[in-house]
Amino acid sequence: MSTELGKAFARAKARGEGALVAYAMAGDPDLARSVDVFAAMVEGGADVLEIGVAFSDPIADGPVIQAASERALKAGATLRRVLDEVVPEVRRRCPETPLVIMTYVNVVMAMGEARYAKLARERGISGTILPDLPPEESAALRAAFDAEGVDLIPLCAPTTPPARAEGIAKDARGFVYCVSVAGVTGMRAELPPNLSDRLDLVRRAASVPVVAGFGISTGEQAKALVAHADGVVVGSALVRAAHSDGPQAAKQLCADIKRGLKR
Amino acid sequence: MTTDTAAGRFGRYGGRYVPETLVPALMELEAAYAVAQRDAAFGEEVARVLREYVGRPTTLTPAHRLTKSWGGAQVWLKREDLAHTGAHKINNTVGQVLLAQRMGKKRIIAETGAGQHGVATATACALFGLPCEVFMGALDVERQALNVFRMRALGAVVRPVESGSRTLKDAMNEAMRVWVSQVEDTYYVIGSAAGPHPYPTIVRDFQAIIGKEIRAQTQAAIGRLPDAIIACVGGGSNAIGALHPFIPDTSVRLVGVEAAGHGLQSGQHGASLTLGTEGVLHGSRSLVLQDENGQIQEAHSISAGLDYPGVGPELAHLAKTGRMEVRTATDDDALTAFYEVARTEGILPALETSHAFAAARSLARDMGKGQHLVINCSGRGDKDVATISARGVPPATGVKS
């Protein structure tokens, strides 16, 4: 596991907090201004940044991130440009914060798995989340990532049977991304009642941190989960805040959620 | 013989590239389908519905006047346009909706491009009494008004999809998103030979009835197998159905015809086998139209059913290994062929099917007399009359002697 990710979770834990993994879309509204959003989220307390790289056909994403993807693609965001223009600048402004790329497998395949892993590591990327790459299809890609020390962060779903969930957790790199609701990304008023049981099960099996994501948008929701997870991922709510009210709104929301994450 | 090299893999292509939430459902489907395949009663039920309701076997029509006009191989038409609902799509939806019922699923969702798969799914749902929702690109909703009405008449809900290029690929994205959120009780009927494993296999198996009938019918008519079979390829369901049973018969040329749209050089086409590169779209690794950054490009074809930037993984494998020859036809070629077939054989082919006819002419001439060519007449053209008539109708003297 990348030491940066481990350290970030450990720092949050030492402060008596769950970690906030904050997502925004690189290139929304444009490449330069998305850097401001990432930096603002760190000011608001984000412990890990998840940098979204747009894909034309985002099947795991709800309307908010779909719209952000379209804006980013119009603004010229590509994996190469994000790695060359966004990541180094975020790294410079937030040197302590580990960075994770979230995109779809075709985007990485188009660059070449090994080439991506090498470039990502050079630019300071700790891990990568590919929501359309289940374990059965990931062997070759993960070997290429392991060779460069980039964590392929696995997802576990509410529909994943317990034994499979334990397998995913045991084998995980970086952290385990527990998808909280059966569905696409986006805010939900309520999270499923059995989510805490699922998080407990995955946490028992995992040797890396476990985070809950999809549907989480408030400090209240984060508070309810913090006993069962090492952190939460917040995406659509931050993307929406940054899009409608700018980086300061995303910073504010991060701070609200961080308050909820205090143990 | 099969081209499957591992579960769900066709050479380099295929697989299951989907969100983890869907993986258990796809495993459940794979297991349920394996059990159904071993159950003789299921096979008989599908066969009975195809016989009593769909009207199978569809006929193999000798195209005498087209043969004479082209002056080459003897041309035969596999008349999928005569199947109930007017296209081959019903072969697969009957099978999958019966499978869904067997699995205890309560509702059906589907995506559609030209609307033929949507109509065929709505039809099977009406027949077996299941609620049906069809996702359709908003652009396709506009250009396939007849099929939109048919689906609604059959009791289905049509959901226009406004994202992306507002065509088949976006409808499929949306259907997958909706499926993710309702996966416990919902069955997703994919109509194309694409999608994550096990769909390409399931669709192929249900559509292979076309090729099996061609085999029996040519044996009966000419005492041997045909020399070539040609079919249009969008996602590829009619092509894989017609061609798959002949893969081991190396004497039979297998030919797929892709949409060249405004021309292969125009950048506006649906020729993923010809110009696509390896990528992942809608759950499988195949050949896709994409830019150098891995963004999927919008396809273009006058026919909504071929307006798709991907292609089924088994077809990609057949094309890359050379077992299937790939040709292309432009929008204009297809329109010309539409009128030619209408006026020579008294058949209005679907615009998708018209692409197969457009490429068949030169193939028949190259093959020469004494050879036998089967064209898979995948669907009827009634759904396309608005698109075609908007371009004007050629004068009535166009009939060739």
Give me the mean pLDDT over the B41-64 stretch: 98
Residues from B contacting A (CB-CB < 8 Å) are 15-25, 163-164, 169-170, 173, 176-177, 180-184, 278-283, 288, 290, 292-296
Same domain for B382 and B280: yes
B177, A62: Cβ pair inside 8 Å?
A: yes
CATH number of the domain bearing residue B24: 3.40.50.1100
CB crowding A214-247: b at 16 or more within 10 Å, else e: bbbbbbebbbbbbebbbbbbbbbbbbbbbbeeeb
- The number of folded domains in chain B is 2
Confidence check on the interface: ipTM exceeds 0.90, yes or no: yes
Same-domain status, B30 and B161: yes
Considering only alpha carbons, which residue of chain A is nearest residue B170? A57
Confidence band for B359, pLDDT divided at 50, 70 and 90: very high
Please answer yes or no on whether A134 and B23 come within 8 Å at the CB atom.
yes
Read off φ and ψ for residue A175, nearest 5 degrees. -155, 165
Name the domain boundary from B188, B203, B218.
B203
Q: Give the Cα separation of A201 and B78 in Å (integer).
A: 56
Domain-embedded: residue B106: yes
Q: Would you say residue B4 lies in a domain? A: no
Same-domain status, B37 and B101: yes
- The pair of three-digit structure tokens given for residue B325, joined into one six-digit string: 């020859």
Write down the pLDDT at residue B1.
38
> Which CATH number characterizes residue A29's domain?
3.20.20.70
Report the residue of chain A nearest B25, measured CA to CA: A159
Consecutive 10-residue runs of chain A (263 residues): their mean pLDDT? Answer: 88 97 98 98 98 97 96 98 98 98 98 98 98 96 97 97 97 97 93 94 97 96 96 98 98 98 93
DSSP letter assigned to residue A103: -
Nearest CA in chain A to B279: A106
Residue B401 lies in a domain: no
Distance from CA of A184 to the nearest CA of B (A): 6
Q: Which helix (H) or strand (E) holds A253?
A: helix A247-260
B162 and B256 together in one domain: no
- Does the annotation mark B89 as catalytic? yes
Nearest CB to B180; choose among A56, A155, A182? A182
How far apart are alpha carbons A235 and A257 in whole angstroms? 12
> Within an 8 Å CB–CB cutoff, is residue A109 touching chain B?
yes
Range of the domain at B316: 55-86+208-389
Nearest CA in chain B to A57: B173
Question: Same domain, yes or no, for B235 and B163?
Answer: no
Of A204-208, A258-262, B138-142, B295-299, give the lowest mean pLDDT range.
B138-142
Residue B280 to residue A79, Cβ atoms within 8 A: no
Model confidence at B113, pLDDT cuts 50, 70, 90, reads: confident
Tell if the CB–CB gap between A106 and B163 is shorter than 8 Å. no
Write out chain A residues lying below 8 Å of B176, CB-based.
59
Contact residues, chain B, for A160 at CB < 8 Å: 20-21, 23-24
CA distance A79 to chain B (A): 7
Mutate to test the interface with A, among B173, B280, B287 (most CBs of A within 10 A): B280
B161 lies in the same domain as B27:
yes
Q: Are residues B263 and B344 in the same domain?
A: yes
- The verdict on a CB contact (< 8 Å) between B184 and A132 is no
Among B203, B237, B267, the domain boundary falls at B203
Of the partner residues A56, A80, A131, the one whose CB lies closest to the CB of residue B296: A56
B215-234 mean pLDDT: 98
Is the CB of residue A3 less than 8 Å away from at least one CB of chain B? no
Query: Between A52 and B114, whose confidence is greater?
Result: A52
Give the pLDDT score at B396: 83
A184 touches B at CB < 8 Å: yes
- Tell whether B171 and B277 lie within a shared domain: no
Confidence of residue B144 (pLDDT cuts 50, 70, 90): confident
Output the pTM of the full model: 0.96
**Count of domains in chain A?**
1
User: Other CB atoms closer than 10 Å to residue B59's CB: what's the count?
Assistant: 14
Alpha helices in B18-162 (DSSP H): 23-38, 40-49, 64-70, 89-102, 116-128, 138-143, 145-153
- Residue B284 appears among annotated catalytic residues: no
Query: A107, B293: Cβ pair inside 8 Å?
Result: yes
Domain that holds residue A152: 3-260
Confidence of residue B2 (pLDDT cuts 50, 70, 90): very low
Which of B183, B203, B223 is the last residue before a domain boundary? B203
> Do B32 and B64 sit in the same domain of this protein?
no
Same domain, B217 and B363: yes
Does B1 reside within a domain?
no
The CA-atom distances, in angstroms, between A156 and each of A140, B74, B297 are 20, 57, 30
- Give the full edge-to-edge strand order of the sheet including A125-129: A151-152, A125-129, A99-102, A48-52, A19-25, A231-234, A210-213, A176-179, A155-156
Same-domain pairing of B188 and B290? no
pLDDT at A32: 98
Q: Would you say residue B71 lies in a domain?
A: yes
Long-range contacts of A188-192 (CB under 8 A, 24+ apart): A188/A214, A188/A215, A188/A216, A188/A217, A191/A215, A191/A216, A191/A221, A191/A224, A191/A225, A192/A158
Same domain? B303 vs B320: yes
Looking at residue B114, what is its pLDDT? 83
